[in-house]
A and B are shown apart, each in its own frame.
Chain A
Amino acid sequence: MAEKRITIRATRFDPDKDRAPRLQSYDIPFSDDSMVVLDALNHIKSHVDGSLSYRWSCRMGICGSCGMMVNGTPKLTCNAFLRDYWPRSITVEPLQNFPIVRDLVIDMESFMHKLKSIKPWIIRKQDYPLGAGEHRQTMDQIDEFRQFSECINCMLCYAACPVYGLNDEFLGPAATALARRYNLDSRDQGVKERLPVIANSEGIWECSFVGECSVVCPKGVDPAKAIQQTKLDTTMRFVLPYGNREE
C-alpha cells in the first residue's frame, strides 16, 4: 500500500533576502494518525529543509509557544492533528496581526510590553511576612479567578482579534484576562494600580465584543468574558457610592 502523504504549505520569509513573505510547499509522509502540524514542521526541518524557522517547546499544549495560523485559524500546532485536514493540504502561517521576524516566527515585543503593563503578579500594600504562615484561600476564592489563571500567553487570541489587528495599541484579550485573574485574587490588593492601564481608551473600552478570542483559546480561558466583566466592574466602581473604596 502506498504511503500516505500530505502537503504542508509554510510561510517563508528571510528579512535579508525577501521583500514579502511567500508560501513554500512540502510533501511529507503522514505515517501516523497521531501526527500534529508541529510534527510535520519538525519533519520538514529535520529531513527536508533545516532553514525553516518556528517556535516550539513542550509539544503538549502547555508552553504556548507553537501558536500559528493553520488554514487561516489561530491554533497551537501541537494540538492541530493532520488527520483533521488530510487529504487537503495544510497552510501554516505566522500568527496574524504581529510583525514577522522570520518564516513562522513573530515579533512578540508588543505583547510582552502589554503583559508587563498590567502587573501580572500579586501586589500587596504591605508584604505578607514569611513568618505569618500561608496566605490561605478557600476553594470559593480560588474558583473566582481559576479560569483566568489558565492562560498560557500563546497569543492566539490576539491573532483572532480584529480590533487588535486594526489597532495594535489595544491592550488585548490575554493581558486583560490576566489582569482580571489578579484583580479577583483575594490575596491581591493591586486593583487601583492596574486600573489606569485596563480602563483607559486603549484598554477594555476598545473591545467591541467580537468574541473570537474566546473561540480560539486552547485553554478555555474566555478572555471576552474577562473584558466584559471588567467593563461592568469599572462602571460600577465609577457609578456606585464607595465604588472606589480601598480594597
Chain B
Amino acid sequence: MARGWWLRQRHYFLYMVREFTAVPMALWLLWFLVEIQRASNGPKGYYPHSSPGFVVFSVIVLGFALYHSYTFLSLAGVIIHIKGVSSRLIVLSQFALWFVASVVIAAALIGFAR
C-alpha cells in the first residue's frame, strides 16, 4: 500500500486526523501528570504554567479534544444498538450527556477554585 494512501480521499484524511488527535492529547496529559506531581506538596509554593506558548498549546489541544469527542459521539449511533431507538436519538442523547457532564464538571472546578 502506498504511503500516501490517506491523502487520496477526504474520508481517509479525516480518519487520520481523528486518530492523530490522540497524540497531542497524550502529550498534554503527560504534562498534566507532571503538574500533579509538582502540586503534590500542597498549594503552598505551587504555580501552574501560564506561559503564552503553553496557553496556545492548550488551546490547540482543546480543539483536537473537541474534534475527537465530536467524532466519537457521532459514531456512537453506529455502535450502540437499542431495540426501538433510532441511531439519531442515541447520538443526540450522547451529545446531551456530554453537555450536561461538561457543565457539571465546569461548575465543580469553578466552585473548588473559589
Contacts and interface: CB of A to CB of B under 8 A. Distances in A.
Interface in A165-217: 165-166, 208-212, 215
Nearest to A215: B11
B11 A166 contact: no
Contacts, number: 36
B98 interface: no
Contacts of A215: 11
A232 interface: yes
B11 A211 contact: yes
Contacts of B78: 222, 224-225, 228
A229 B12 contact: no
Given A72-B8, A165-B1, A229 B15 contact: no
B74 to A, nearest CB: 11
Interface in B78-94: 78-81
Given A162-B12, A210-B15, A232 B1 contact: no
B88 to A, nearest CB: 14
A89 interface: no
A97 B11 contact: no
Contact of B75 (A72, A209, A212): A209
B6 interface: yes
Provide the main secondary structure of the chain A interface: helix
Most chain B beta-carbon contacts within 10 A, residue among A165, A222, A225: A225
B12 A208 contact: no
Nearest to B5: A162
B81 A165 contact: no
Nearest to A226: B78
Interface string B1-13: 1000110110110
Contact of B81 (A166, A211, A212, A229): A229
A120 B50 CA distance: 59
Contact of B11 (A208, A212, A229): A212
A222 B78 CA distance: 9
Given A97-B1, A162-B1, A165-B5, A212 B79 contact: no
Contacts of A72: 8-9
B79 A232 contact: yes
Given A162-B1, A166-B1, A210 B79 contact: no
18 contacts: A97-B1, A162-B12, A165-B1, A166-B1, A209-B75, A210-B11, A210-B12, A210-B15, A211-B75, A212-B9, A212-B11, A212-B12, A224-B78, A225-B79, A228-B75, A229-B81, A231-B79, A232-B79
Given A162-B5, A208-B19, A210-B15, 12 more contacts: A72-B8, A72-B9, A97-B1, A165-B5, A209-B75, A211-B11, A211-B15, A211-B75, A225-B79, A228-B75, A228-B79, A231-B79
